[in-house]
Chains A and B, each alone.
Chain A
Amino acid sequence: MNTLRTVLRDARLVAARDLRIEARSRVVIDQILPFAVLVLVLFGFALDADHRTLRTFAPGLFWVTVLLSALLAIQRSASLDSADGTGTALRMSGLSPVARYLGRAAAVLVQLLVLEVVLVGGLVVLYGVSVEEWFLLVVAGVVAGVAVAAAGTLYGALASGLGARQTLLPILVLPVLAPVLIGATRAFDDALGVAAVDGWAWTGLLAVAALVLTVVGASVHGVLVED
């Protein structure tokens, strides 16, 4: 119980640090969000501004945009621990790798949720989409966000350790997130009313994926960053 309390306390410490750095540097606000909106606009151009087509494919376009933007957020997050000896200082700090993993993943999740909110707004404004099941949309968005943050944080640490994160991260993490993309798209199909699927069933699968990725990430992260 004491160990769990310590891990949660340390995870909060790490998450607060990452979010404070983000608040100061404004990389998500000033760079990643505009990039994400730009991708939505480009999809609009590519599909010839045909609102019917855009509405049909909106869930898939939304999650592809989230994944592409998430890569930037994850790379940025992983880079914090490679600047000016901070990674070594963390190894020397006594913070448990589990706490470091959970804290970082939580900070990435918060950034992804902000991104998702903005992009949902983009779907409504740019694609003329209407939300039919808000509750499903929110739950599926959060659960898929957890899965993306969990996998991204783990692979961000892995790519960072291999010293080639700029190019390696997408190749490592996108295949792992393909099932999350499928599940999240199906859940949003239902929430946005563009296809007759059971969105809650897909959300349940997403929750299982999120849990598995989080447990695996927390277990493996120490090997990647400590030794």
Chain B
Amino acid sequence: MSVVELRAAVALLGRFPALSGVDLMIHAGETVLLRGPNGAGKTTVLHLCAGLLRPESGGVRVLDHDLTEVAGRRSVRRRVALLGHATGLYDDLTVGENLRFWARAAGLSAAEADRRTDEARSRLEVPVRLLDQPVHTLSAGQRRRTSLAALVVRRPELWLLDEPHAGLDQRGRDLVDVLIGDAVAAGGTVVVSSHELDRVAALSPRTVTLAGGAVVDGPSTDGGAPQ
């Protein structure tokens, strides 16, 4: 079963073309690495799959939602987790308040939100003492872990991870790899955009190379060969 289906997908950022006819099929349970140089369109593909961008033309189906329609884009978002460059955390709330807010926003009861918050905190090894600490007092790495934990509480079906290892220490990077492995083991699908090719290669992903807003075959222009 295909989870992501892009057919000649064209997307604009403002007036400028960011994707110029991308064809991409991703099946359930797959781990896919998007690679390519800066400006290749990796982040745009992730945002398109997350339902944050309206395709200009072409077909985009994600988790059986037609993302050319407003209703499809709105519906798919609650089933997808997107880790971007920003944390998506409220600076003046504590780590615990942030995690519980995003868990409750996903429709969980208060008790379930508390349970999943604790579970996510534990999986990302966020120290208990940080739960009562405002986010603005955290280091960049701690914020990143908290941001990942906020996605874990939602248990999404499709993970879209944009440079997930960025800003993390060695242990944090290992935890991201475990998280990706666990997500796939649980039947989820993971799409990773990364320049850390060696690390992501260890997760045995299918590699898709982008350049100039399109999927390309052959050697990429970011220094390595596609697998």
Bound complex: CA A10 to CA B113 (Å): 14
B residues at A contact (CB < 8 Å): 50, 52, 54, 70, 73-74, 77-78, 80-82, 84-93, 97, 101-102, 104-107, 134, 150
Q: Give min CB distance, A18 to chain B, whole Å.
A: 10
A93 x B86 contact (CB < 8 A): no
A92 x B50 contact (CB < 8 A): yes
Q: Which residues of the partner chain A approach B82 to less than 8 Å between Cβ atoms?
A: 88, 92
Bound complex: CA A86 to CA B52 (Å): 14
A95 x B93 contact (CB < 8 A): no
What are 21 A-to-B residue pairs whose CB atoms are below 8 Å?
A10-B105, A13-B104, A17-B97, A20-B93, A21-B90, A21-B93, A24-B92, A24-B93, A25-B92, A83-B90, A85-B88, A86-B89, A88-B52, A88-B86, A89-B89, A89-B102, A91-B52, A92-B81, A93-B77, A93-B105, A227-B70
B88 x A89 contact (CB < 8 A): yes
Q: Is A84 positioned at the interface, with any CB of B under 8 Å from its CB? A: yes
Q: Is A226 positioned at the interface, with any CB of B under 8 Å from its CB? A: yes
Q: Which residues of the partner chain B approach A227 to less than 8 Å between Cβ atoms?
A: 54, 70, 73-74
Q: Which residues of the partner chain A approach B104 to less than 8 Å between Cβ atoms?
A: 13
B107 x A80 contact (CB < 8 A): no
Bound complex: CA A17 to CA B97 (Å): 9
Q: Which residues of the partner chain A approach B101 to less than 8 Å between Cβ atoms?
A: 13, 17
B91 x A83 contact (CB < 8 A): yes
Bound complex: CA A10 to CA B84 (Å): 24
Contact residues, A58-90 vs B (CB, 8 A) = 80, 83-86, 88-90
Most buried by B among A88, A92, A93: A92
Q: Which 9 A-B pairs have the closest CB atoms?
A: A85-B86, A89-B88, A94-B78, A93-B105, A24-B92, A85-B88, A21-B92, A84-B86, A92-B77
Q: Which residues of the partner chain A approach B90 to less than 8 Å between Cβ atoms?
A: 17, 21, 80, 83, 86
Interface residues contributed by chain A, number (CB under 8 Å) = 23
Bound complex: CA A17 to CA B72 (Å): 28
Given contacts A17-B93, A85-B88, A86-B89, 15 further A-B contacts (CB under 8 A): A13-B101, A13-B105, A17-B90, A17-B97, A17-B101, A21-B92, A84-B89, A88-B52, A88-B82, A88-B86, A88-B88, A90-B105, A92-B81, A93-B105, A226-B70
Q: Which residues of the partner chain B approach A25 to less than 8 Å between Cβ atoms?
A: 92
B93 x A93 contact (CB < 8 A): no
Q: Give min CB distance, A15 to chain B, whole Å.
A: 12
Q: Give min CB distance, B185 to chain A, whole Å.
A: 23
Our pick among A20, A80, A95 for the contact of B105 (Cβ within 8 Å) is: A95
Contact residues, A82-129 vs B (CB, 8 A) = 83-86, 88-95
Bound complex: CA A20 to CA B101 (Å): 11
Bound complex: CA A83 to CA B98 (Å): 14
* Nearest opposing residue in chain A for B102, CB measure: A93
Q: Which residues of the partner chain A approach B102 to less than 8 Å between Cβ atoms?
A: 89, 93
Q: Which residues of the partner chain A approach B106 to less than 8 Å between Cβ atoms?
A: 93-94
Q: Give min CB distance, B194 to chain A, whole Å.
A: 18
B87 x A84 contact (CB < 8 A): yes
Q: Give min CB distance, A101 to chain B, whole Å.
A: 15
